[in-house]
Each structure stands twice: as C-alpha cells, then as structure tokens.
Structure 1
C-alpha cells in the first residue's frame, strides 16, 4: 500500500481523502481453480483482507442480476410505513428490522444513519419465516431466496479456493465449518442510509468495525464505504466498480486461519448529503458450534462470538470501551485515527477494542 501522497484522492466536503486501491479477483478463474488467481486470492486475505470480486463473466452475471432484483425489492420495502417494516422488530441479532439510530454513529455524539432489514439463511428455508408481510409475496420471497443462495455459492467457492491455497484437507478445510445443514447466523443484510450531513446531522453513517463473519460479500453501487488498510492511520474510500462485489475477511475466518488473515476495518460515511444510499451485504458465518481461539486467547464458539460482538456493537461508547480489547476490531491493530474533515466533530482516538 503506497503512501497517501501517491494515492488517488476524492473531495469529501472540501477535504481530499484517499481512495485506496484494491486487487480484483476473477470469479470465473476461481471456479476453474487457476493456480495464479487462487494464489492472488490468498495474498489478498493475508495482506489486506479485502478485494474486488469480478462477476462480469458468464458464471457471475446471475449474481449481478440477483443484486438488481434485490435493490428493487429494497426500494419498495424501505418506502413502506414504519409499522409494516417493523412488524416483527429485531427477532434475533441476525434476523429482523433495525430502525434508524439503533447504534452508535460514526462521529462523536451521533447515532447511526441507516435502517436495515436482515433475512437469515436458516430462516428463509423455514415454512413460515419471520419476514414482514410486505415481503411475503411469492415474487419477493423468490428474490430473497436467490440472493441468499447465490451469495452462499459465491462465498463458499472462495472458502474452498482458500482451503486449497493453504493445503487444507478433510475436516481442516474452512468450508467444513460452514455446512449448509448446520445452524448458523449467516444472513443477508439490506441497508438504507438516509440523507445526512457529517457537519450538522445527528444520524451519521456506520461506526468503524470488523465484521463478525467469515467472509462478507458486499454490493454497493454508491460511494460511502471507507476502509483502514493494515498499517495505515487514515480511512479512505473504496471506489464502486461496475460488475464487481467487494469481499472482506471477517473475524471468524481470521481466527480460523490462525490469525494469519487480516480482518478489514471499515466504516460508512455520507458522501453526498442529499443522497439515499443502499447496500446489500451477505455475511457468511461459521456453524454456531464451531470452536476457535479469539484474539484474547479464549476458546469460543462462533455463535457466542456473534452474540458478544453484536452486543458491544450496539452499546454506547462508554460500554464499548469496557469490552475486551479485540472485540470491535477482531484483534486487528488499531492506531489513533486521523479524521481530516474540517468543521465536523472529530472521531476520538480509540485503542484496539
């Protein structure tokens, strides 16, 4: 990763902010187990923990179509009355509706700037899933099934390639702990960020964190995602790339790799004050009973890690500060942040949580 002076920058409310480059992995070549591409995938996970996934080839286009149909569903869902969206509320941390301001925001003394509906993979397979009635028509249910099953196929293919790259066999393979028939918290999260101005609004973005997941498959056509590559102090933007998803390594895969993979520290900020921003994220997570050693040296199940981190993620900043040092950032080293936006509240330096 080059120095900030060598990077492309983009204007963010009058301040130049870096745009970090990311490698692009070809999904078709991963399916073909092309050695050079698989090795590049492994290096991405070991060095940065994030990459673009090119889905423009024949085998990837169906997943891009799923994304478009899911976006249309989201526009209709988030335009519905609050009572309809919140019919069941948050059934479980990985299932249900979260309203605007449910969590801490990206800047001091703010709440988050998004509403979100989550549909778990386990739930969509049930005869009577806890899904708001506004999404229970046969067309929308099929869209959700396609989005979840397609995302599961993509992320499992990446897991398999990583197992191959590391020479793993039998029960040591990553996908062995991500079996379809075992209960997990794998979920499709659909997020709507409301218009907000980082200098004046009280609902701002999405606080910095690493994901609970093993792999996150993100579709985001609009600017707003920022990452903190390992060894840097400044958040920079990820440029949306047509026909590509963004994939990042989460805590569980970092732990399963013996802490040799990098989790991706990231956040979301408003890019245009008047813009409604939409994103779709599939969080592939290990079976609930999967055991691994976290960054505190604890033997912990994937289900327990999910619940503990989710609680901390929703807690007030003073509660977050009491959590184990690795909780919000999966054991990744976090230097003091540099937040250059003039006129906005400055993000307070946070030690590795």
Structure 2
C-alpha cells in the first residue's frame, strides 16, 4: 500500500497544446483563469502534431547531462558573468549566488544559451563549447516550438484583456529582438533526509513566460494565500508554464507572477536534479508600464533598461540607481514589487 502524501501539493490546471492551438474556447478560458489565479499551469504536449515534441524534450535532456559532465575548468572558460552582461550566454558555477536559507549559498550550476543566436540559420559567433554545435538543430526546434506556443498563449490573454494591437502581448515578443534564453540547470545532491535543503532562493521570473521541463520533484510555489509552500509535481509529457514579472507589470497585477523556488522533498534529502527552461522576455523596446490604459505614457521604461537595472540590483551594483528607482516605482504601481 502506498504511503499517504504528507506535504502540500499545488492543484494546477492542465491545458493541452492541441486545444490551445485549435482555438478551443474552454482551453482559452482555462489559460486566462490560470494566469489570473495561479500564475502557473501544466502544458500537455503529448499529442502535439507540429513537431515530435517528446523526442525533442528527450534530446535536450540528454544534451544537458552531457554538457554538465564537462570538466569544471572547461565550463569556466564560458563564465556567464564574463561573457554576457544580460546573462544570456555562459556557465554559472555552484555557490555563486545566495541560496534559499539565510547564510547558505546556492546549490546548483546552470548554463544559459541565447535564443536569438540559436534560431539563426547561421548562428553568430557567440562563445560556446563544441557540444552546443552538435545539438544546434534540436535546440533550434525546441526554441521555435516554445515561441509558437507562447504566441498562442499571448493572443489568448491579449483578447481577454482587450489590448489594442500595438501593445498586444504577441506584438511585444520576438525571439530575434529580445534576451530570451535556454537555461540548463543541475542541482547537486545532498543525502541528509532530516534537513530541508533550499538550493535556490525564492524568486519570481524576470520576463514574460517560462517553459520548464523536468522529471524530478522539488519545485515549490507560494500558495495563493501566501502562507505556505506547495510542491509542483512533474507530470509526464507536460511542461510547467509560469508567468513572469512583465505580465504582472503590464496588467497592474491582474495576471500573477508566481513566487517559486526549488527545495528537497520531505524526508528524502536533496537528490541530484536536472531541469531546463526557456525564459521568454519582451522585445528590448517594449514599454514596461501598464498596458491597460488608452496610451503608453511618454518617458516609459524600456524592457532592456528594466532588465539591466534588475541585474545591477541583483549583483549589488550601485551604478544606474535612477533606473532601479524607475524599475521599483513601475512595479509598485503594478501592485507588487517583483524580484529576480
């Protein structure tokens, strides 16, 4: 007999890609409800006909494991802090950032790849290990598929919000004019079953949508009432899609950017955990202010400035303080103060 589950589990919607792409009214209504109430939902791609999605996801998983098996010195040749000011390309070692428990460092390594370069027919010369070139077709197919599905989600939400075309969510996204990234992650193992491990600090995502793929439990989201953490359990042939800070800012908090983190499972310690995600961000010139009024105000903050200010704040950089203030003011007006 299976043991009863003694930890809280998030009860989230599951939306099929085929229903979303076919314009199902019930799927559209569920996307809007999930975006407003939860800020996260499962996306079932098992019956997607556009691409053999299960094969692509499996191949990206294999690529991620192969990349992290490279030697430490080889990975550090592509240090993300040295290569990319917007953290769009390169490797972050374990322990560089703060963790989810006071006084502890993070417990994961990650590798970022720039989507604009990945989808180019002739990728520009961004520094990368040779293994990336061996998987470039898979990474391009994965990026294109996520973008196509995201556009369906954006169109659904734009219609529900009655946004004019010039500021419709689908208009404000283009993978060739934004800082979208594929992020690969590996969490190190800690076998102690009696101690809660939180190797990643709680955060909301910088951007619009995140498509997360993992077969390992550990993701937690803050419950709707804000009083406890709920586990988001992986589902076979499903991505976990969550809204980012931009969606909340644009809608004055009507759409929810969910606070989340990774933690060990109760009584199990922290197993080695792999995941990968596509983090979608607005075009660099997108206005970072409410879109619910008749006109975008003059002097608005642009997305590229917003991202730059948030990264400087994260690293403790005191330059560009006025930008960070604009960032903070915009987010307060949206009804929340977002984090990275």
Paired with 1:259 and 1:9, the residues of 2 have a C-alpha distance of 36
Question: What TM-score does the superposition give when structure 2 sets the normalisation length?
Answer: 0.82
Task: Tell me what 1:41 maps to.
Answer: 31
Task: Tell me what 1:101 maps to.
Answer: 95
Change (3 A) 1:99 1:313: same
* Conserved 8 A contact 1:194-1:277: yes
Query: After the TM superposition, which residues 62-101 of structure 1 pair with which residues of structure 2 at under 5 Å, given as runs?
Result: 62-90=52-80, 91-92=83-84, 93-101=87-95
User: Gaps (5+ residues) in structure 1?
Assistant: 1-7, 11-15, 317-322, 335-350
Q: Deviations over 1:255-308 (max 9, x none)?
A: 2223310101100113343621111111111011111228xx994221122222
Task: Report SS of the residue matched to 1:207.
Answer: coil
TM superposition shift of 1:169: 3.9
TM superposition shift of 1:60: 6.6
Task: Tell me what 2:306 maps to.
Answer: 305
TM superposition shift of 1:248: 0.6
Q: Deviations over 1:230-273 (max 9, x none)?
A: 32211111111111111111011222223310101100113343
Paired with 1:100 and 1:79, the residues of 2 have a C-alpha distance of 14
Task: Tell me what 2:293 maps to.
Answer: none
* Conserved 8 A contact 1:105-1:203: no
Change (3 A) 1:23 1:278: same
Q: Deviations over 1:48-72 (max 9, x none)?
A: 1111111111337623321110110
The structure that is strand-richer by fraction is: 1
* Conserved 8 A contact 2:288-2:300: yes
Bigger Cα displacement from structure 2, 236-245 vs 125-134: 125-134
* Conserved 8 A contact 1:114-1:194: yes
Q: Deviations over 1:283-335 (max 9, x none)?
A: 111011111228xx99422112222223344559xxxxxx87996xx66989x
Matched, 1:277 2:288: no
When the two structures are aligned, how many residues end up with a matched partner?
Answer: 313
Task: Tell me what 1:342 maps to.
Answer: none
Question: What TM-score does the superposition give when structure 1 sets the normalisation length?
Answer: 0.80
Q: Deviations over 1:8-28 (max 9, x none)?
A: 984xxxxx4311110111211
Task: Tell me what 1:112 maps to.
Answer: 106
Correspondent of 2:219 among 215, 220, 225: 225
Task: Report SS of the residue matched to 2:201.
Answer: strand
TM superposition shift of 1:205: 1.5
User: Gaps (5+ residues) in structure 2?
Assistant: 291-296, 318-323
Paired with 1:176 and 1:26, the residues of 2 have a C-alpha distance of 23
* Conserved 8 A contact 2:263-2:270: no
Paired with 1:198 and 1:152, the residues of 2 have a C-alpha distance of 40
Moved over 4 A (4+): 197-204, 323-327, 330-334
Bigger Cα displacement from structure 2, 202-211 vs 37-46: 202-211
Q: CA RMSD in A?
A: 3.0
